[in-house]
Structure 1
C-alpha cells in the first residue's frame, strides 16, 4: 500500500497530482463496493443518474451528460443493456439515432447504489470537517472550465 511519505516531494507539493491521487483512491473504493454488492461500476451509476434525470435521450446526449467520448459511452451503454439497467430503441424520426431509457431495474439499482455510495463518501471524507468539504467542492468548481472538453476518461 502506498504511503504519502513515499510520494516524491515535488509531486506531493502538486495540488493537481494530489487531487488525481485522491480521486483514484475514491474511485477504487467506490468501484469495489458497487461491483461486489450490485455488479456495477461508478461509471454505470453515472449513466443511470443521467438517464434518470434526463429521461429518454439519444446515446450522444448521454455521452454529453457524462462528459465522455462516444466510443467509451457505447461500451458503457452496452454493459448497462446487458445488465438490463438500460434499454435502447431506434428513433421514430431518425432511424440512425439510438435512444436510451433507464429501466425499472436500473432505477432500483441506482437507488441502492446511491445508498452504498453515500456510505463510501462519508468514510472517504471523514478526515475533513463539514466546512472543509464545502470548501473543497467550491474550489473544485472554480477550477473547472466550461469551455474545455472533458472527453478523456
Structure 2
C-alpha cells in the first residue's frame, strides 16, 4: 500500500483513522462553503435543518437529536438567536423552564440556501466514488453507528 497521508503504516491501514481524516476534510470543505455563502457553521446548519424538520422542539430535544452536550447546544442556539435565525420562547405548560425553538423567516431562507450548498459540497466531496461506492459507504457507516 502506498504512503497515503501520513508516514505511519499503522495509521494508513486504520479504517477508523481514515474515517476521521475524511470527516475532517468534509467538515473543512463544508464549513468554508457555508461561511463564505451564508455566514454559518456546519453545526448551525444541523440546528436549522433539525428545526425545519421538527419545529417547536425544546433545546434539550435539539441537543438529543444532534447528539451534542447541553452546554454546546446552548452556545449554538444562543449564536443562532443572535443572528436572528432561531427564536426561543419559554414553555407555558408543564415545563416552564424549557426553551422551545423555531426558525425565523431569515432562518428558513438561510436553511434553504444552506441545503443547496451542502448538496453541492456533498456532490463534490464524493465525486471520487461511484454512486454504488457512495451508497456502500453510507450503508457501512450507518451500520457502524446503529449497531452500538
Per the TM alignment, residue 80 of structure 1 is displaced from its structure 2 partner at its CA by 0.6
Structure 2 unaligned blocks of 5 or more: none
Deviating above 4 A after TM superposition, structure 1's stretches of 4 or more consecutive aligned residues are none
Over residues 102-152 of structure 1, what are the superposed CA-to-partner deviations in whole Å (9 max), with x where a residue is unaligned? 1111111011011111111111101100000000001001111465xxxxx
Question: How many residues end up aligned between the 2 structures?
Answer: 145
Distance 1:27 1:143, change over 3 A: same
Q: Quote the Cα distance in structure 2 between the aligned partners of 1:67 and 1:5.
A: 30
- Aligned residue for 1:57, secondary structure, equals coil
Q: TM-score w.r.t. structure 2 length?
A: 0.93
Q: TM-score w.r.t. structure 1 length?
A: 0.90
2:97 corresponds in structure 1 to 96
Over residues 13-53 of structure 1, what are the superposed CA-to-partner deviations in whole Å (9 max), with x where a residue is unaligned? 00000001000000000001101111100100000111111
Q: Quote the Cα distance in structure 2 between the aligned partners of 1:5 and 1:63.
A: 34
Per the TM alignment, residue 6 of structure 1 is displaced from its structure 2 partner at its CA by 3.1
After the TM superposition, which of the residue ranges 91-100 and 55-64 deviates more from structure 2? 91-100
Say if 2:90 and 2:99, in contact at 8 Å, map to a contact too: yes
Say if 2:126 and 2:134, in contact at 8 Å, map to a contact too: yes
Q: Quote the Cα distance in structure 1 between the aligned partners of 2:135 and 2:4.
A: 24
Q: Quote the Cα distance in structure 2 between the aligned partners of 1:80 and 1:146.
A: 33
| 1:14 aligned onto 2:14 | yes
1:57 corresponds in structure 2 to 57
Q: Quote the Cα distance in structure 1 between the aligned partners of 2:33 and 2:73.
A: 22
Structure 1 unaligned blocks of 5 or more: 148-153
CA RMSD of aligned residues (A): 1.4
Q: Quote the Cα distance in structure 1 between the aligned partners of 2:6 and 2:136.
A: 27
Matches within 5 A, 1:2-151: 4-93=4-93, 94-145=95-146
